């Protein structure tokens, strides 16, 4: 994992911090006090939304350790996004580390729905 600033601090070179700050445009679908959700630019399903905490943490485990309420807010937002898009069934995915596909090191939850999904993924 890349080095990080103090927990929750904004990272100046973090794409998702820039999206949260409104410096980089995104197709925002939901905003709360704790999270921002926007459509993925490379969707893997008809509904593919990224839900990010407003505070910067490099991955889900770091967020869970520093702010468990933020993790609950991510999952609650994901449920609302699925409902708004008309889905009862959906998949939630956290990638933690480059070896499993994390490319932006700011916690983000993928909400995927709208097509059949197999198990195991990948």
Question: What's residue 2's pLDDT?
Answer: 44
Q: What is the DSSP string of 32-88?
A: -SSEEEEE-SS-SSSEEEEEEESSB-SSHHHHHHH-HHHHHHHHHHHHHHHHHTT-S
In three-state secondary structure terms, 29 is: strand
* HSE (side-chain half, CA atoms, 13 Å) at 45: 21
Query: pLDDT for 10-65, tens place per residue?
Result: 778 999 999 999 999 999 999 999 999 999 999 999 999 999 999 999 999 999 99
From 48, 106, 108, 110, active-site residue: 108
**All structural domains of the chain with their residue ranges:** 15-113
Q: What is the pTM of this model?
A: 0.90
Is 57 in the active site?
Answer: no
Q: Which CATH architecture has domain 15-113?
A: 2-Layer Sandwich (3.30)
**pLDDT per position as a tens digit, 57-99:** 999 999 999 999 999 999 999 999 999 999 999 999 999 999 9
pLDDT class of 7 with cuts at 50, 70, 90: low
């Amino acid at each position: 994992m890349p080095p990080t600033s103090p927990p929750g601090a904004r990272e100046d070179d973090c794409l998702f911090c820039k999206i949260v700050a409104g410096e980089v445009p995104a197709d925002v679908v939901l905003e709360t006090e704790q999270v921002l959700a926007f459509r993925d630019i490379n969707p893997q399903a008809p509904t593919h939304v990224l839900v990010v905490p407003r505070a910067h943490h490099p991955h889900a485990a770091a967020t869970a350790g520093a702010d468990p309420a933020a993790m609950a807010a991510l999952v609650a937002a994901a449920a609302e996004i699925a409902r708004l898009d008309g889905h009862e069934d959906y998949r939630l995915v956290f990638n933690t580390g480059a070896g499993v596909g994390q490319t932006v090191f700011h916690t983000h939850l993928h909400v995927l729905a709208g097509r059949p999904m197999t198990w195991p993924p990948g």
